[in-house]
Amino acid sequence: MGDSENPRGCLHRLFSARSVAVIGASRNPEKVGHIVLASIINGGFVGDVYPINPKVDEILGLRTYPSLGNVPGDVDLVVVAIPAPYVPDVLQEAVDQGVGGAVVLSGGFREAGRADLEEQLAEIARSSGLRIVGPNCQGVNYLPNKLFASFWFPPVMPGPVAVVSQSGTVAATLAGWAADENFGVSATVCLGNQVDVSETDTISFFADDPETRAMACYLEGAKDGRGFIDVIKRVASKKPLVILKSGRTAGGQRAAASHTRSLAGSDAVFDAVCRQFGVVRAPDLESLYDSAKALSTLSPPRGNRVLIVSSSGGAGILAVDEAERHGLTVPRLPSTLVEELQGLDLPRNAVYANPLDLTFCSAADFAAALSVVDCYDVADVYLLIFGDPIQGAAEVVKKVGASIRSSVAVAFLGGGEVEKADRPRIQAAGIPVFPTPERAARGIAAAVQWFSRSVKP
């Protein structure tokens, strides 16, 4: 059920809700109904919040109501945390009250052998236009609206990547990594059993979301293969889409079927579809994160040439190996550039090649070398590798990133406390920083792949 086919049921009202009711709100801090209510409150949601519980008068300082029908105002979104057998009736009440969206955290549906209950939810969605996320999911977080309708309150901060996942743990992991690096996400959506809202719905929504610059998706299979192809054909050339699809082996497909009952399908066919329409396919969780980071922050590379400037010879070699393995070109430096670099006051043991190994250098040496390099058209992306605790690295990277013509990415490793302090500063400046040369090279390759794709809008 797409938004264009059902205006009343569009996802905008769900994500941009101005009022939320938590059905099954609880005073018990160990209950999901308490945790999700606390997440909404602690996340800074600025709309109305209505706990629904007929047995108590107040929870977390908020007046409770015995049912949706008793709520004094309109409700845009209901978050449901009650036993599965009661969910259909509650959702029907939500329809009767004009609610636009529902996030059903409750488990105990098709994954537990109750396909009949799940079909009731599907019928409510089909007949009414109520958009339902889940059931059996960890919830939805949408940072532009300060909406944390999930039973985990992740250490997230606003950022450019929307995470769509058929695993709640995967979504929480990506959001946590992003927060640790001062990077952030625009949203996390845990799809659960996808009785209504599917990966195609959310991909379509975030493709048009101005707060999202790239999408990172973990999928175990497509709910509707034809619908999935139609959506990525429309959006993948419009906004970067990175997908990690599990179920690549026969055993993985069986595991996916038992987890969310997704149809995993042929991995070769899925791979061919991704290549045809410009989707970046990630082989693992780290690559999913790194690719989405690079695609949402790296300025568009003009081509696939990479110049590596490093304080570490070994780290530079690792970067070359990974770059070339992923189709990037590591060109030789022209003799005129080498001569000009040799005229600078760079470290005595510097190696004037690509990688440009500055060895035992300072941040000022990086700045001096790059000011000369940028006068030559030798690379489309500069990969700066800080392999030691180099003081002032963040300040140099920010100045370089703002002044040179080529794209800039950073790998920072072996830098101790200096690295821990500077990596978030670099990332906050909008320049992607990675913990290893290999991960940096893979992220750059993903960005080059997408920006040089043959499929155009």
- Looking at the structure, tell me whether residues 99 and 61 fall in a common domain: yes
291 within 8 A of 242, measured Cβ to Cβ: yes
The answer to whether residue 12 is domain-embedded is yes
- Looking at the structure, tell me whether residues 121 and 192 fall in a common domain: no
- Looking at the structure, tell me whether residues 171 and 259 fall in a common domain: yes
Residue 265 phi, psi (nearest 5): 70, -175
Residue 413 belongs to what domain range?
A: 300-437
192 within 8 A of 164, measured Cβ to Cβ: no
The answer to whether residue 99 is domain-embedded is yes
The answer to whether residue 146 is domain-embedded is no
Structure tokens at 28: 């018990």
- Looking at the structure, tell me whether residues 170 and 241 fall in a common domain: yes
- Looking at the structure, tell me whether residues 409 and 310 fall in a common domain: yes
Rounded distance, CA 341 to CA 356, Å? 10
Structure tokens at 311: 């304080």
Per-residue model confidence (pLDDT) at position 251: 52
Segments of the chain with pLDDT less than 50:
1-9, 252, 256, 258-264, 454-457
The model's pTM is: 0.92
Q: Identify the helix (H) or strand (E) that includes residue 409.
A: strand 407-412
- Looking at the structure, tell me whether residues 115 and 162 fall in a common domain: no
- Looking at the structure, tell me whether residues 237 and 323 fall in a common domain: no
The answer to whether residue 228 is domain-embedded is yes
- Looking at the structure, tell me whether residues 313 and 413 fall in a common domain: yes
Residues 6+ apart with CB under 8 A from 268: none
- Residue 262 one-letter amino acid: S
Tell me which of 297, 320, 346 is where a domain ends.
297
Residues 6+ apart with CB under 8 A from 70: none
Our count of domains for the chain comes to 3
The answer to whether residue 344 is domain-embedded is yes
Per-residue model confidence (pLDDT) at position 265: 60
CA dihedral 89, 90, 91, 94 (to 10 degrees): 120
The answer to whether residue 46 is domain-embedded is yes
Q: What is the domain-level CATH number for residue 293?
A: 3.40.50.261
Tell me which of 278, 297, 316 is where a domain ends.
297
CB atoms within 10 A of CB 360: 12
Rounded distance, CA 264 to CA 401, Å? 42
Per-residue model confidence (pLDDT) at position 1: 38
DSSP, collapsed to helix, strand or coil, labels residue 27 as: coil
Q: What is the domain-level CATH number for residue 65?
A: 3.40.50.720
The answer to whether residue 444 is domain-embedded is no
Rounded distance, CA 345 to CA 367, Å? 12
- Rg (alpha carbons) of the chain, rounded to whole number: 25
Per-residue model confidence (pLDDT) at position 382: 98
- Looking at the structure, tell me whether residues 308 and 289 fall in a common domain: no
Please give the distance of CA 454 from its chain centroid, rounded to a whole number.
Answer: 24
Per-residue model confidence (pLDDT) at position 155: 64
Per-residue model confidence (pLDDT) at position 456: 46
Burial class (CB in 10 A: 0-12, 13-18, 19+), 456: exposed
Per-residue model confidence (pLDDT) at position 46: 96
- Closest among 313, 314, 321, 303 to 449, alpha carbons compared: 303
Residues 6+ apart with CB under 8 A from 364: 392, 396
- Looking at the structure, tell me whether residues 199 and 84 fall in a common domain: no
- Looking at the structure, tell me whether residues 97 and 8 fall in a common domain: yes
CA angle, 366 then 368 then 371, to 5°: 105
Q: Identify the helix (H) or strand (E) that includes residue 242.
A: strand 241-245
The answer to whether residue 93 is domain-embedded is yes
- Looking at the structure, tell me whether residues 304 and 293 fall in a common domain: no
pLDDT tens string 120-136: 999 999 999 999 999 99
Tell how many helices (H) and how many strands (E) occur in the chain: 16, 19
Tell me which of 132, 165, 199 is where a domain ends.
132
The most distant pair of C-alpha atoms in the chain lies apart, rounded to whole Å, by 81
- Closest among 285, 140, 39, 170 to 51, alpha carbons compared: 39
